[in-house]
Chains A and B, each alone.
Chain A
Amino acid sequence: MIGQAIADGILTGAIIALGAIGISLSLQILRFANFGHGDILTLGAYSALTFTAIATAGVPIGPVSFGWQFLVAMLIAALVAGSAAILIDAIVYNRLRSRNAHRLTMIFASFGVALVLRNLVLLIWGPDVHYYSRELQIAVEILPNVRVMPDQIVVLGLTFAVVIFFYLVLRLTRIGMAMRAMAESPTLAGICGVEIRKMIRIAWFIAGSLAAMAGVFLGLTVQLRPEMGFNLLLAVFAAAILGGSGSLFGAVIGGLLVGLAENLSVLVVPAGYKTAMPFLLLMLVLYIRPHGLFGTPEKH
C-alpha cells in the first residue's frame, strides 16, 4: 500500500513540479501570483488533443500507449500555450504594468483571464472527458506490489529531462543570466542593458510551455477535463511556495512533496480530502517557514 502511494505520489509530483516552475517564474520575474496558470495548462492539454484527433496518437511504441506523433503533439501544445501566454500578456498584463498597476490588481486580472480561458475550453471542446488514446496498457510491477503504467514512467523521464534542460538554460545561457538578474532587481537589470520587455515575453513563454507539458502529461496519465488545470492550481502554488519561490530545484522538490502528501494522505484520511492536502501543507509552510524550504527570506 505505502509503496504504491509513494510511486503514485512521485508521478503526480513530477507533473505538479512542471506547473510549479512556471508559477515560481511568474512570482519572481513577472512579480505576481498568476491564477491563470492552471488554465494555460488546460489549454495546452487540449491543443495536443486537437492534434492527436487529426493525426492520432500514433502507433504505440512498445508498451506505451502512444507513438512519435504524440511527442509532436506535445511540442505543438507547448508552442500554443507559450504563445497564448505571450498574447495574453500583450493584451492584458502589459497594459496594467505600463500603468504601474498594483501587483494585486494583476492577480485580479489573472482570475478574470482564468475564467475566460477555462470557459473557452469548455465552449470549444465541450464538457465531456477526453483521452488521447484508447490503447490499453498493462501495468508493470516495478517492485513487489508496486505497479505503474509504462506511460507514467515515460512521463517521469520526460519531466526530469525538461527540468534539467531548463536548469542548464538558466545557468549557462545569456538569457538565463538576464532572467536571474531580473529576478534580483528589474531596475538594475534594465540599467545593465537587459531588455526587460523581451525577458518578460521569454518568461511567459517558458511558463506557458512548461504548463502545457504538465497538462499533456496529466491528460495522458489521467484524463482531460475543462477544470483539470484549475483543480491543480492549488497544488502547484503550494509546491512553488513550499520549495521557495525562485528556486528551480525548490519547485521540483516542492512538487514531489505535494504529490507525496496527496497520495500518502489517502492512507489516513478519506480520499475525498486528498485535494485539501496541498492547502494544509501550504498553511504549515506559511506558519513555520514562509520563504519556503529553499528560498531566501524576502528583504524589505
Chain B
Amino acid sequence: MIGIVSYLVFFLTVVLIFGIACLGLNLQWGFTGVFNAGVVAFYAIGAYTHAIITAPPHPLLIANLGLPWPVGVLGAMAAAALAALIVGIATVRLRGDYLAIATFGIAVTVQLITLNWQSLTGGSLGFTSIPRPFAGYFDGQLSYNIFFLGLVAAATVLVYWGLERVVRSPWGRVLRAIREDEVAAVALGKDARLFRLQAFVLGSVIIGLAGALHASFIGFVSPFDFLPILTFQIWTMLIVGGSGNNRGALLGALIVWGLWSGSGVLVSKVLPPEFQTQGAAAQSILIGLLLVVMLVFKPRGLIGEEPVVSRHVG
C-alpha cells in the first residue's frame, strides 16, 4: 500500500513538473504560434542553473554557490530568459521554420555544453547533492515527497492561474491575433515581432522553472536526463491535450506521462534484459505515432481551444 502511495506521489510530481513545461510551450505554440523545437534546452538550462546556484561548493567545479533554494529558482528562470532572448532576437523576424531550426540548434548546443564544460557542469557524470528545499523539516522520504508534491502543485496552480489571466488580457488577445493573422495584427498597429519575442521568452522562463523543479526534486543533474526525446514528450503532451488550452496542456501531461511510464513498466517486466533497448525504441515509436496520429486525425487535441466570442455579442 505504502509502495503504491509513494509511487503515485512520485508519478504526480513528475506529471506536474512536465505539466508546467507544457504550459510554457502552450503559451509559445498554443497561443502565439511560435515554434520551439528546443524545449529540452530551456528545461536543461533551468535545471543546471538551479543546480549550480544551490549545490554546495565542490573542489572540482568552479561555480556551485550553495545559495538558498529561491535564489536557484529565480536564477534558473533568468538564465532561461536570457537564452530565449538571444535566440529570439535573431529569429523572430524570420519565418517560423527558422525559429524551429534555431531552437533545435540551441538544444544540440546546450547538450554539448553540459557534456563538455566539465568544470561548470560536471561533464558526462553531472553532479549530485543538489539540496532539496526544506528537507530538514521532514524525517521520512514519503512525507517529504508529499510535501514536495504540494510545492510543485502550488507552483502549477500559480503558473496556470497567471497564464489564464495573461491570455485573457489584452496582451493575450494580441498573441492570438498574431497567430491567426499576423498581417491583420500588424495593420492594427501591433508590433508582431515584439509580442512574439515576449511570448517566446515568457514561455521559456516557465520551461526553465520546470527544469529547476526537476533538479531540486531528483537531486542530481546529468546530460542524460535531458535528451532530445524530452522535447517530443512535452510536445506530444500539448498536442494530445489540446494546444491553446491550458487545462489541455495539464491533461496531456497526465495522459502522455501515464502512457510513457506505463509502457516503460511493461517493457521492463515483460521483455528479457537483452531486449531492453528494443523496448525503449518501441516506447519512442509510440510517442512519435501518437504525435502524428493526433495531428492527422484530431488536430484540436482532447480538449481543444475554447471558441472565444466577445461578451458584447448577443
Interface, chain A (partner B; CB < 8 A): 27, 32-33, 35, 92, 95-96, 99, 101-105, 107-109, 111-116, 118-120, 122-123, 126-127, 230, 233-234, 237-238, 241, 270, 272-273, 275-276, 278-279, 282-283, 286-287, 290, 298
Determine whether the beta carbon of A122 is less than 8 Å from that of B277.
yes
Q: List 11 A-B contacts (CB under 8 A).
A: A27-B97, A33-B97, A33-B100, A104-B97, A111-B37, A119-B288, A123-B278, A126-B277, A237-B104, A241-B98, A279-B109
A291 shortest CB reach to chain B, Å? 9
Chain B contacts of A109 at CB under 8 A?
291-292, 295-296
Chain A contacts of B71 at CB under 8 A?
none
Determine whether the beta carbon of B116 is less than 8 Å from that of A272.
yes
Tell me the complex Cα distance, A99–B96, Å.
Answer: 19
Top 10 A-B pairs, shortest CB-CB distance = A115-B288, A112-B291, A272-B116, A279-B105, A116-B288, A112-B292, A33-B97, A119-B281, A122-B281, A119-B284
Q: Name the CB-closest residue of A to B182.
A: A300
Tell me the complex Cα distance, A281–B100, Å.
Answer: 16
Determine whether the beta carbon of A105 is less than 8 Å from that of B295.
yes
Question: Is there a chain A Cβ closer than 8 Å to B285's Cβ?
Answer: yes
Tell me the complex Cα distance, A298–B91, Å.
Answer: 15
Determine whether the beta carbon of A35 is less than 8 Å from that of B282.
no
B interface, size bucket? 35 or more
Q: With A33-B100, A234-B105 known to touch, is A287 a contact of B291 (CB < 8 Å)? A: no
Q: With A92-B296, A116-B285, A283-B105 known to touch, is A103 a contact of B96 (CB < 8 Å)? A: yes
Determine whether the beta carbon of B97 is less than 8 Å from that of A32.
yes
Tell me the complex Cα distance, A102–B239, Å.
Answer: 14
Chain B contacts of A298 at CB under 8 A?
95
Question: Is there a chain A Cβ closer than 8 Å to B108's Cβ?
Answer: yes
Question: Is there a chain A Cβ closer than 8 Å to B166's Cβ?
Answer: no
Question: Is there a chain A Cβ closer than 8 Å to B102's Cβ?
Answer: yes
Interface, chain B (partner A; CB < 8 A): 29, 33, 35, 37, 87, 90-91, 93-98, 100-102, 104-106, 108-109, 112-113, 115-116, 228-229, 232, 235-236, 239, 277-278, 281-282, 284-285, 287-292, 295-296, 299
Determine whether the beta carbon of A116 is less than 8 Å from that of B90.
no
Q: Name the CB-closest residue of A to B89.
A: A287
Determine whether the beta carbon of B284 is less than 8 Å from that of A278.
no
A161 shortest CB reach to chain B, Å? 29
Determine whether the beta carbon of B95 is less than 8 Å from that of A111.
no
Q: Which of B97, B104, B229, B289 counts the most A-chain CB atoms under 10 A from its CB? A: B97
Tell me the complex Cα distance, A270–B112, Å.
Answer: 11
Q: Name the CB-closest residue of B to A95.
A: B296
B183 shortest CB reach to chain A, Å? 8
B223 shortest CB reach to chain A, Å? 11
Determine whether the beta carbon of A282 is less than 8 Å from that of B299.
no
Determine whether the beta carbon of A287 is less than 8 Å from that of B90.
yes
Tell me the complex Cα distance, A230–B37, Å.
Answer: 14
A110 shortest CB reach to chain B, Å? 9
Determine whether the beta carbon of A112 is less than 8 Å from that of B35.
no
Chain B contacts of A273 at CB under 8 A?
112, 116
Chain A contacts of B235 at CB under 8 A?
108, 111
Tell me the complex Cα distance, A219–B202, Å.
Answer: 42
